[in-house]
Structure 1
Amino acid sequence: MDPKLFDAAAEGNIEPFKELRAPHVELQQIVTKILKDTILHINIKSQKVSTEFVTQILEMCHSLLLQVNAEGDAPLHVAARCGHSTIVQLLIQRAKTEEEEIDLESGLKPEWEMLKMTNYENNTALHEAARQGSDDVVEILTEEGDPDFHYSANNLGETPLYLAAARGYNRIVIQILESCTTAAHEGPNGKTALHEVAIMLYPDTVKKILEKKKSLTKVTDQHGWTPLHYAAYYRRHWHHTEVVELLLECDRSTAYIGDKDRRMTPLHMAAGQGNLEAINSIISNCPDCYELEVDRAAHREPLCLVYESGDRKAVNNQNVSVSYITKYGYSELEKEIQELSKDVGKGNQYPNGVIRIREGTKIEDSPKQDESAEEEKETRASHLVVATLIATVTFAAAFTFPGGYNSEKGQNQGTAI
Structure 2
Amino acid sequence: MDQPSTSSDNESGEATQLEIEKDRAIAAKAESSQEVEAQDECLTGMDLPAYRAATTGNIDFLVLHGEHLSQILTPTKNTVLHIYIACAKRSRTSSKNTASINTVTRILDMCPGLLLQANERGDTTLHVAAKHGHDHIVEHLIKLARARQEEACCQLLIRTVNHDGDTALHEAVRFNHLTVVEILTRADPEALYSANDAGETPLYMAAQRGYNSLVSEILETCTNPSYEGPDGRTALHASVIYNDRDLTSKLLDYFTGDKALTKAVDKQGWTPLHFAAFFGHSLIVKHLLRADESAAYVRDKDDKKTALHIAVSKGHLDVMKELISHCPDCCELVDKRHQNVLHYAIENKRFEIQDFVQKDPWLSNVLLNGKDDNQNTPFHQLAASFYKFGHVSRAGSEIIDSSKDFISDARVDKMAFNKEHLTALDMIQANHSFSRLEKKYVQRLSSKVNSGRPGYHTVNDEIKGNKDKEIKIERKEATNQIVKELKQSHLIAATLIATVTFTAGMTMPGGYQSQKGRDQGFAVLTKNANFRVFILTNLIAMTLSSLAVFIHILVLLTAKQYTPFVQIRWVLHLTVWALIFMMVAFYNGTAAVLRDSLVATIAISIMSNMLVLVIMPFALFLNISTLNSTDAFYMFLVNIRVPTVFRFCMFHLRCAKNKIRSP
Please indicate, yes or no, whether the TM-score normalized by the shorter chain is above 0.5: yes
Q: Distance in 2 between matches of 1:309 and 1:60?
A: 81
Tell whether the 8 Å contact from 1:322 to 1:385 is kept in structure 2 after alignment.
no
Which residue, out of 225, 230, 234, partners 2:275? 230
For 1:97, the aligned partner's letter is A
Residues 43 and 302 of structure 1, relative CA distance in 2, 3 Å threshold: closer
Residues 314 and 20 of structure 1, relative CA distance in 2, 3 Å threshold: closer
* Partner SS state of residue 310, structure 2: helix
For 1:174, the aligned partner's letter is S
Show CA shifts across 1:374-397 (max 9, x none): 5x76446667999xx9xxxxxxxx
**1:281 aligns to what?**
322
Q: Distance in 1 between matches of 2:146 and 2:381?
A: 79
Q: Distance in 1 between matches of 2:247 and 2:292?
A: 17
Q: Distance in 2 between matches of 1:141 and 1:212?
A: 20
Residues 114 and 251 of structure 1, relative CA distance in 2, 3 Å threshold: same
Identity of aligned residues (%): 39
| Residue pairs, 1:306-385, within 5 angstroms | 309=358, 330-331=386-387, 334=388, 365=391, 378-379=397-398
Matched, 1:79 2:129: yes
What displacement does 1:113 show? Answer: 2.4
What displacement does 1:229 show? Answer: 0.7
* Partner SS state of residue 277, structure 1: helix
What displacement does 1:231 show? Answer: 1.4
Which residue, out of 295, 301, 316, partners 2:336? 295
For 2:129, the aligned partner's letter is A
Q: Distance in 2 between matches of 1:377 and 1:143?
A: 66
**2:239 aligns to what?**
197
**1:121 aligns to what?**
164
Show structure 1 runs of 5+ residues with no match: 335-362, 369-373, 390-401
For 2:243, the aligned partner's letter is L
* Partner SS state of residue 26, structure 1: helix
What displacement does 1:204 show? Answer: 2.1
Over alpha carbons, which structure has the higher Rg?
A: 2
Show CA shifts across 1:207-262 (max 9, x none): 22223323200111111111111111124xxxx32211111001111111111111
Tell whether the 8 Å contact from 1:152 to 1:159 is kept in structure 2 after alignment.
yes
**1:92 aligns to what?**
142
Tell whether the 8 Å contact from 1:303 to 1:318 is kept in structure 2 after alignment.
no
What displacement does 1:67 show? Answer: 0.9
Q: Distance in 2 between matches of 1:196 and 1:13?
A: 46
What displacement does 1:140 show? Answer: 1.1
Tell whether the 8 Å contact from 2:308 to 2:341 is kept in structure 1 after alignment.
no
* Partner SS state of residue 294, structure 1: coil
| Larger RCO: 1 or 2 (CA < 8 Å, sep 6+) | 1
Q: Distance in 2 between matches of 1:319 and 1:55?
A: 78
**2:53 aligns to what?**
8
Show CA shifts across 1:334-373 (max 9, x none): 3xxxxxxxxxxxxxxxxxxxxxxxxxxxx6548x8xxxxx
For 1:84, the aligned partner's letter is H
Matched, 1:404 2:449: no
Q: Distance in 2 between matches of 1:315 and 1:37?
A: 68
Tell whether the 8 Å contact from 2:115 to 2:124 is kept in structure 1 after alignment.
yes
**2:83 aligns to what?**
42
* Partner SS state of residue 260, structure 1: coil
Matched, 1:260 2:316: no
Tell whether the 8 Å contact from 2:200 to 2:228 is kept in structure 1 after alignment.
yes
For 2:386, the aligned partner's letter is Y
Tell whether the 8 Å contact from 2:376 to 2:417 is kept in structure 1 after alignment.
no
Task: Give the RMSD, CA atoms, in angstroms.
Answer: 3.9
Tell whether the 8 Å contact from 2:173 to 2:181 is kept in structure 1 after alignment.
yes
Q: Distance in 2 between matches of 1:125 and 1:32?
A: 21
Q: Distance in 1 between matches of 2:328 and 2:377?
A: 29
What displacement does 1:272 show? Answer: 2.1
For 1:242, the aligned partner's letter is L
**Number of residue pairs matched by the alignment:** 344
Residues 314 and 123 of structure 1, relative CA distance in 2, 3 Å threshold: closer
Q: Which has the higher helix share?
A: 2
**1:174 aligns to what?**
216
Tell whether the 8 Å contact from 1:11 to 1:48 is kept in structure 2 after alignment.
no
**1:150 aligns to what?**
192
Residues 166 and 2 of structure 1, relative CA distance in 2, 3 Å threshold: same
What displacement does 1:76 show? Answer: 0.3
Residues 329 and 197 of structure 1, relative CA distance in 2, 3 Å threshold: closer
**1:112 aligns to what?**
155
What is the TM-score of this pair, normalised by structure 1?
0.72
Matched, 1:64 2:114: yes
Q: Distance in 2 between matches of 1:382 and 1:39?
A: 78
State which drifts further: 250-259 or 262-271.
Answer: 262-271
* Partner SS state of residue 195, structure 2: coil
Q: Distance in 1 between matches of 2:86 and 2:404?
A: 61
Tell whether the 8 Å contact from 1:315 to 1:322 is kept in structure 2 after alignment.
no
Q: Distance in 1 between matches of 2:177 and 2:341?
A: 53
Tell whether the 8 Å contact from 1:31 to 1:37 is kept in structure 2 after alignment.
yes
Show CA shifts across 1:253-298 (max 9, x none): 11111111111111122222233332221121112222221235xx
* Partner SS state of residue 81, structure 2: helix
**1:346 aligns to what?**
none
For 2:174, the aligned partner's letter is R
What displacement does 1:190 show? Answer: 1.1
Matched, 1:249 2:256: no
For 1:404, the aligned partner's letter is R
**2:555 aligns to what?**
none
Q: Distance in 2 between matches of 1:382 and 1:78?
A: 67
Residues 208 and 275 of structure 1, relative CA distance in 2, 3 Å threshold: same
What displacement does 1:19 show? Answer: 2.9
For 1:7, the aligned partner's letter is R
Residues 64 and 319 of structure 1, relative CA distance in 2, 3 Å threshold: closer
**1:19 aligns to what?**
64
What displacement does 1:13 show? Answer: 2.2
What displacement does 1:54 show? Answer: 1.7
What is the TM-score of this pair, normalised by structure 2?
0.46
Show structure 2 runs of 5+ residues with no match: 1-45, 91-99, 347-353, 425-663
* Partner SS state of residue 274, structure 1: coil
Residues 27 and 232 of structure 1, relative CA distance in 2, 3 Å threshold: same
